[in-house]
Amino acid sequence: MHGTSLSRRLPAVLAGLVVSLAACSSAPDAGGPATPGTFSLWDPYPQFDAGSEWAKVIDKCGTEAGVKIERQAYDTTDLTNKVLLAAQQRTAPNVLVLDNPVVSTLAEAGVLKANQEVGLDASQASPNLVSAGSQGGQTYGVPIGANTLALYYNKAVLSAAGVDPAAVKDWASLDAALGKVKAAGKKGITFSAIGTEEGTFQFLPWFWGSGAALTDLSSADAVSALSLWKSWLDKGYAPNSVVNNTQTTSWQEFATGEYAFAENGTWQLQNAKKTGFEYGVIPIPGKSGATAPAPTGGEFVTVTVQDNKDSEAKAGRIATCLTSPDKVMATDTALTYVSAVASVQQQQVAAQPELAVWVAAVKSAKGRTGDNLGTRYPRISQPLWGAVQAALTGAKTPEAALKDAQTAAASAK
């Protein structure tokens, strides 16, 4: 992709981009391309320093490719914006580790190279995870791992209410369990319904679990999902604070020991062990049973468009190394990710049996940009989280909120 067409595309992308959630902390600003004679890699993991397992894997892959890699780590939001600006200035990094919903946006903007052009192979990764990196019949990058959502539960709270978590198999049984918990004097469930991508991310298992599709936000199934959440607030099963909760603050509510359930992600596993009470995890149930498809979080390792074909090929070798099964076990453990590779998933469960429920959840998960939504996803997600906010605060009925959201999504350019 030459500079002229790239520079035409990028302003539109910059204007329309809604950056997705990530379970990462922020970092101070650092920037700029690699110094001459080195390769640059940018990632959204500022929580991992130079002594981390992830940094060691990067160094090893650089050594194998015969180059020194300069790594820059950013908060996810900063990373995407910096990459778009760097691409305009032709100073993008050689290798880019990118939150999965943004892959199709950057591919359409001409920032990323298709896998077949740089020797990258995503065939070992699970197809439902790879789909987030598909755009226009091409695949861009390889998923390094995935996280997703499930329901954590407090064993003591459920036991006191006479609830068997194994019996929670659908919305009706979950609703009944929440009723028993409230009757026993405890709190039901907490989640994040904030007016950002985190709110959409947490709503999607219920939305998809109803049978709804992102191409029709106002369907009867979609209304049933939003009505379920609204009913929990009306009945006192969930706190009104969910409308402002991030995934972090909703976790803090669960960590008080007062709540029976919390919808949250793989990244809270270490925090769960620090709560001081016994916990368990069950999949999020679909409306009439089975596991609801939860959205996939996690990143892709991608190669950017570069002026030199040799550089692109070498960046492809580095990306291949970073996602190879023999390296990714250490990486995914460090990132608290379920691997995208089935054989590595088995190794993870053997090492940590508690990951079994998360592996199952990832197998049922869906990419947010799947169903060929690609770059349309942000224009759907924003009206959807707005509808959730409007319904939960009582500003609109679930029906009216979702009808307005569908109108907004359909007219968004």
The per-residue pLDDT for range 253-291, each reduced to its tens digit, is 999 999 999 999 998 988 999 999 999 999 999 999 999
Q: Say yes or no: domain 149-294+373-411 is CATH 3.40.190.10.
A: yes
Domain residue limits, the chain? 3-146+297-355, 149-294+373-411
CATH class of 3-146+297-355: alpha beta
SS3 assignment, position 83: helix
In terms of C-beta density within 10 A (0-12 exposed, 13-18 middle, 19 or more buried), how is residue 136 classed?
A: exposed
Question: Tokens 């068997």 correspond to what residue?
Answer: 164
CA dihedral of 322, 143, 97, 206, whole degrees rounded to 10: -150
The per-residue pLDDT for range 231-250, each reduced to its tens digit, is 999 999 999 999 999 999 99
Q: What is the pLDDT of residue 373?
A: 85
Considering only residues 14 and 380, tell me which one the structure prediction assigns the higher pLDDT.
380
Main-chain phi, psi angles of 243, to 5 degrees: -70, -20
Common-topology check for domains 3-146+297-355 and 149-294+373-411: yes
- Report the candidate in 378, 360, 383, 358 with the shortest Cα–Cα distance to residue 368: 378
Determine which of 1-15, 254-268, 288-302 has the lowest per-residue pLDDT on average: 1-15
Q: What is the pLDDT of residue 35?
A: 62
The secondary structure of the chain in percent helix, strand, coil, rounded to multiples of 5, reads 50, 15, 35
Identity of the amino acid at 408:
A
Place 7 in a pLDDT band, splitting at 50, 70 and 90. Answer: very low
Q: What is the pLDDT of residue 411?
A: 93
Contact 259, 168 (CB under 8 A): no
- pLDDT higher than threshold 60 for residue 19: no
Determine which of 75-84, 195-204, 292-301, 362-371 has the lowest per-residue pLDDT on average: 75-84
- pLDDT higher than threshold 60 for residue 15: no
Q: What is the pLDDT of residue 351?
A: 92
Q: What is the pLDDT of residue 274?
A: 93
Place 162 in a pLDDT band, splitting at 50, 70 and 90. Answer: very high
Model confidence pTM above 0.75:
yes
Place 375 in a pLDDT band, splitting at 50, 70 and 90. Answer: confident
- pLDDT higher than threshold 80 for residue 316: yes
Q: What is the pLDDT of residue 332?
A: 87
Going 224 to 228 to 230 to 234, the CA torsion angle's sign is positive
Contact 87, 6 (CB under 8 A): yes
The per-residue pLDDT for range 394-405, each reduced to its tens digit, is 999 999 999 999
CA dihedral of 189, 195, 198, 199, whole degrees rounded to 10: 40
Contact 21, 100 (CB under 8 A): no
- Report the candidate in 204, 203, 211, 174 with the shortest Cα–Cα distance to residue 189: 174
- pLDDT higher than threshold 80 for residue 165: yes
Q: What is the pLDDT of residue 27?
A: 33
Q: What is the pLDDT of residue 336?
A: 83
Determine which of 45-49, 297-301, 310-314, 318-322 has the lowest per-residue pLDDT on average: 45-49
Place 413 in a pLDDT band, splitting at 50, 70 and 90. Answer: low
Place 215 in a pLDDT band, splitting at 50, 70 and 90. Answer: very high
How large a percentage of the chain has pLDDT more than 70? 91
* Mean pLDDT to the nearest integer, 10-28: 41
Rounded Cα distance, 409 and 346, in Å = 40
- pLDDT higher than threshold 60 for residue 213: yes
Considering only residues 20 and 330, tell me which one the structure prediction assigns the higher pLDDT.
330
